[in-house]
Amino acid sequence: MTDEVREYAERKIWESGIRMVPGHYPKFENKEQVDDWLDISGYMFQKSVGQRVPEITGVDIQRYKDLLWRLKRNEDNMPLETLRTKYKTAYNNIRRELKEMTMAIIRETVYRDLYIERTEVERVILKINQAESDTGIYESINQAVYQEKCFGSIMAAILLLRKIIHEAAEEEAKNA
């Protein structure tokens, strides 16, 4: 495997959220093999989550992944104290933009297909808020963004949030 293919594989595997020890990848001969392997892995991810990842059009996903990668590289290669003082503005801008983009992904993924009758809005929203706080799912999303910096983990947590919210809304609608 050439250095170029290895670097490409490391970046793509990291973006996908697949947990692998660096250097223990299959022996890829070219970038197309990396992409094929990731397509198969993506299919298996969807099977394990039990839901299809919805198409996200309101956020530039590649830019989002690039920001995660930049944050990861910065925190890996520089002391946190330096990032928070000398490079404070740039560091905070990356974190702020990631937060805004994550919220946009959540809105688009979770709430796009959620329909609630007007007469049930108050009860359903209370039920959804209770379900969210009981599961602590937002802490999981926060950890995936700022600790793991892993797009695959972020999407898995957001899909779990989607499942929790939709189940809570359906349960409350049935009890009405």
- pLDDT classification of 8: cutoffs 50, 70, 90: confident
- pLDDT classification of 48: cutoffs 50, 70, 90: low
> Tokens 């000398």 map to which residue?
86
> Tokens 């995660």 map to which residue?
68
Q: Which residue has the higher pLDDT, 8 or 19?
A: 8
Q: What is the amino acid identity at position 70?
A: R
User: Quick one: average pLDDT of 136-144?
Assistant: 90
- Residue 112 DSSP label: T
Q: Pick the closest to residue 28 from 10, 54, 48, 47 (CA basis).
A: 10
Share of the chain above pLDDT 90, in %: 25
H-run or E-run covering 17: none
- pLDDT classification of 47: cutoffs 50, 70, 90: low
Helix axis angle, 121-135 relative to 151-174, nearest 10°?
Answer: 140
Share of the chain above pLDDT 70, in %: 89
pLDDT for residue 3? 84
Mean pLDDT (the chain) is: 84
User: Quick one: average pLDDT of 22-34?
Assistant: 79
Q: Which residue has the higher pLDDT, 52 or 93?
A: 93
User: Quick one: average pLDDT of 89-112?
Assistant: 92
User: Quick one: average pLDDT of 1-28?
Assistant: 75
- Which sign, positive or negative, has the C-alpha torsion 19, 67, 62, 35? negative
Indicate the pTM of the whole model: 0.72
User: Quick one: average pLDDT of 129-144?
Assistant: 88
